[in-house]
Structure 1
Amino acid sequence: MSTVKTDAQFMERFENFAFKEVVEEESVALETNTRYLAILASLVGSQGLDAYKFILNKALDEGMDPIMVKEMVYQSIDYVGMSRMWSFLAATNEIYQERNISLDAGEATTTMFDRLEKGAQAQVEIFGEHMKEAWKTSVVNRWLAANCFGDYYTRTGLDLAQREMITFCFLMAQGGCEPQLIAHSKGNMNMGNDAEFLKKVVHQCLPYIGYPRSLNALNAIDKAQEA
């Protein structure tokens, strides 16, 4: 970061905390790809574009799978909206071009004719049988099944557990989404991302989203676990 020259003391403390202390804390450690996927998703959620570019380059240097990142950015459109994801997609493509990385992402596994059916099935897998016909209750719920889950969750490049994790990160980093954060904490747990794992995700993202939203996320996990 250029601020290393202008804000040396601050950067010394930040880099020690974010890149050493948090990463090396054994009780909250995560596998490298998982940690970077969570951090990058939280930076999209918190709209930290400059930090996203810096961390993406750092992640790619350490072997991050470019397809996983691209799929994460695609999926973010349903949680932050096109107006806030577009610049992250552009930044990702720019960095990939600079590094001669293919701009390819995963692949769609649905068509315009079966996206609703398969999206609803993905919801059932994550949240349970009560979601089978939830799409019939409103226009938004129909779009949620067909668009959010049918268009994106069903793509290759990330599995359902990874997709639920990045959704958790989008919601956590935005703030003000606590009801959805609790619901997706439950969805994560149903996919095998247990409370201990989710708390590790929160701890690894804390330097990038701050303490208030991290504490809210930990509280959401506890509420989901109680339920």
Structure 2
Amino acid sequence: MTHESAASETLSARQQAIVPIAAFAATGDIDRLSAALDEGLDAGLTVSDTREILVQIYAYAGFPRSLNALGALMKVLESRKGRGLQDAAGQAPSRAIPKGDALLAAGTANQTRLAGGPVRGPVFDFAPAIDEYIKTHVFGDIFERDNLDWQSRELATVAVLSALPGVESQLQAHMRISMNIGISAIQLDQLGQALADRVDVEAARRAHDALERQLASA
């Protein structure tokens, strides 16, 4: 699977399904998450897709939210199996994740490619450990996994950060990253509309404001 695909004018049904799944997982709304998972599997998400989305969100919303969301997915899959539905398994990661210095190098390269240039800042000088953790773990361990494309990962990340108040700077960074890897402004506007329609108007407002700032800066 390639890291990115050509931007189109609309989000696919599969891509739209990622938005409420990630948002409800981040806020811990298990009942609405379960419904969104059911709808997402109907829309073409594989078991691997949904599981990977819920694993990744721990980097942005914490392990407890991720673990609870994965438990909800297990229950949804069991329920669907009981109804006679056979969900596509999807693919597992096809390459080994590097270790040690090679992981730091891979994560740094991924972060630079996603961000459009090297990522630096006073907070990373003040706390070098967090810089290394982000490079090796978030952009290394997670973004090196090729069973979910980078655009899907960024749609999930933007949805998570839109759903969480108080993380506007991180949302802004990932709005920029999303556009760097070929997600169009039209598609990001549709992400915001999906948040408004299916999640929460405040989450939609945060996404809209971040998109407007990104477009203005560009």
Give yes or no for TM over 0.5: yes
2:103 corresponds in structure 1 to 115
Q: Structure 2: 5+ residue runs without aligned partners?
A: 1-8
**Partner in structure 1 of residue 92 of structure 2:** 106
4+ long deviations beyond 4 Å: 100-105, 132-136
Partner of 1:33: 14
Q: Residue 49 of structure 2 contacts residue 148 of structure 2 at CA under 8 Å; is this kept in 1?
A: yes
Tell me, yes or no, if the aligned pair for 2:15 and 2:155 is still in contact at 8 Å: no
Select between 131-140 and 56-65 the one with higher mean Cα deviation: 131-140
1:80 aligned residue: 61
Letter aligned with residue 156 of structure 2: I
State the alpha-carbon separation in 2 of the partners of residues 224 and 168 from structure 1: 13
Gaps of 5+ in 1: 1-27
Question: Which amino acid in the other structure matches residue 73 of structure 1?
Answer: L
Q: Who is 2:115 aligned against?
A: 127
Aligned counterpart, 2:162: 172
Higher helix fraction: Structure 1 or Structure 2? 1
Q: Matches of residues 55-204 of structure 1 in structure 2 within 5 Å? A: 55-98=36-79, 99=81, 106-107=92-93, 109-113=96-100, 114-131=102-119, 137=125, 138-204=128-194
> Deviations along 1:75-120, whole A, 9 cap, x unmatched?
1010001022111011112323442658776326413333221111
Contact 1:172 1:214 in 2 (8 A): yes
Rg larger for: 1
**TM-score (structure 1 length as normaliser):** 0.79
| Deviation digits for residues 1-27 of structure 1 (CA, Å, limit 9, x no counterpart) | xxxxxxxxxxxxxxxxxxxxxxxxxxx
The structure with higher relative contact order (CA 8 Å, sep 6+) is 2
1:190 to partner: Cα distance: 0.3
**Structure 1 91/160 Cα, relative in aligned 2: closer, same or farther at 3 Å?**
same
2:44 aligns to what SS in structure 1? coil
8 Å CA contact 1:134–1:141 kept in 2: the answer is no
2:206 to 216, 221, 224: 216
Count, aligned residues? 200
Contact 2:17–2:40, Cα closer than 8 Å, also in 1: yes
Quote how far apart the aligned CAs of 1:226 are. Answer: 1.6
Match of 2:56, SS state, is: helix
What is residue 46 of structure 1 aligned with on the other side? 27
Cα separation, 2, equivalents of 1:196 and 1:89:
31
Question: Is residue 37–residue 166 contact of structure 1 (8 Å, CA) maintained in 2?
Answer: yes
Distance 1:208 1:175, change over 3 A: farther
- Residues 115 and 146, structure 1, Cα contact 8 Å, conserved in 2: yes
Q: Percent identity?
A: 21
Letter in 1 for 2:206: N
Could you tell me the TM-score, scaled by structure 2's length?
0.82
RMSD value, Cα: 2.5
Instruction: Give the residue type in structure 2 aligned to 1:58.
Output: E
Give the letter aligned to residue 94 of structure 1. Answer: K
